[in-house]
Amino acid sequence: MRYRFLGGTGIEVSAHCLGTMMFGAVGNPDHDDCVRIIHSALDQGINFVDTADMYSAGESETIVGKALRGRRDDVVLATKVHFPMGEGRNRGGNSRRWIVQEVEESLRRLGTDWIDLYQVHRPDHTTDIEETLSVLGDLVHQGKIRAFGCSTFPAEEIVEAHHVAERRGLQRFRTEQPPYSLLARGIEADVLPTVQRLGMSALTWSPLASGFLTGRYRKGRPVDLTAGRAALNPARFDPELPVTVAKLDAVEQLVALADDLGCTLPELAVAFPLAHPAVTSVIIGPRTLQQLQDAIKGAALVLDDAALDRIDEIVPPGTDLYHPDGAWTPPALTDPERRRRPLNGRAAA
């Protein structure tokens, strides 16, 4: 296992991070099995574990807490805050009110006194970024968190946060956690260069492109839309959609490349993000022990220039074959009022 330093913090993390989104009701509901998977990852050299409060409504954090009893000091533990937790107002977002409340809940579920990396899960355009940075800095001073970062922030919002921190004398985001894979390379155009320029670390997620790079989904093969990842979002796997066709066409070419390299498609997929100099760690999110073992095999694979050139021919740099983040879309796109100039009270002709 390779290790790298995290965004100028001096914290050393494994180049592959164990993501736990699939632990709990959404994926694997067997707590004992999930604990075994976490222990296996730690035994194989992974020292970086990533979760979030909203994963299975807190259940993932609870499972991670169980697994880390007696091993907490050896693990760099990351979690996130932003998405709503339960019914009612003011139970989500990036406000001081919510973050102060929810960090205590995460600490309780995780069974720990501190969080190594606390991440803002998505942008919140109802909260001033200065408010968010201020409360996160307070949590560092209180010893409840060691460092903080953001997740799936556009490049311009990362830059804004950095400039606000400089102007106001606040602590800054140390990491960004974006989706990145062989089929979703859009962040190469802006987010990754921004992360490099600001001395941050990129911790990338979804290297298997929501399952399309597992080798399970191939062109011409029937897809069971009632099982696995396809059951969670059937539209994403609809073979009639042009976006699905484009992904499957690329998969066939990537399978051929993997065969030439003497590796599997998942191994190629997990190795690819680490080739970018901005990427510190790649998050792998297994549901089973076998999936963990398959993903870790890619940890030793290093892609040379010839392999990367062939990948560039299949999926050009900076190209997204699909929208990789189905959980969040900028309000500028979802709110029509942000795209339409007011008519000053007059009806349109």
Q: What residues act catalytically?
A: 55
Three-state SS letters, 93-122: CCCHHHHHHHHHHHHHHHCCCCEEEEEECC
CA distance 116 to 145: 6
**Those residues with Cβ within 8 angstroms of residue 166's Cβ, 6 or more apart along the chain or in another chain:** 172
Task: Please calculate the CA angle 226-265-301 and round it to the nearest 5 degrees.
Answer: 140
How confident is the chain (349 residues) per 10-residue block, as mean pLDDT? Answer: 95 98 95 98 97 97 98 97 93 97 98 98 96 98 98 97 98 98 97 97 96 87 71 78 93 97 95 97 95 86 95 97 79 82 63
Q: What is the pLDDT of residue 344?
A: 65
User: CA 183 → CA 64, 152, 237, 246, 248, distances in Å?
Assistant: 30, 17, 14, 9, 10
Distances (CA, A) of 58 to 102, 159, 234, 268: 11, 31, 25, 32
Each residue of 130-156: b (16+ CB within 10 Å) or e? ebbbbbbbbbeeeebbbbbbbbbbebe
Total Cβ atoms within 10 A of residue 11: 18
d(CA 138, CA 145): 9
Q: How many angstroms from the chain centroid is the CA of residue 30? A: 23
The DSSP string of 310-329 is: HHHHHS-TT-BSS-S-TT--
Q: Which two tokens stand for residue 196?
A: 């490099």
Ordered by where they begin, the domains of the chain are 3-211+265-337 (3.20.20.100)
Helix axes 96-110, 129-141, angle to 10 degrees: 40
Helix and strand counts by DSSP (H, E) for the chain: 12, 10
Question: Which tokens belong to 79?
Answer: 């979690």
pTM over 0.75: yes
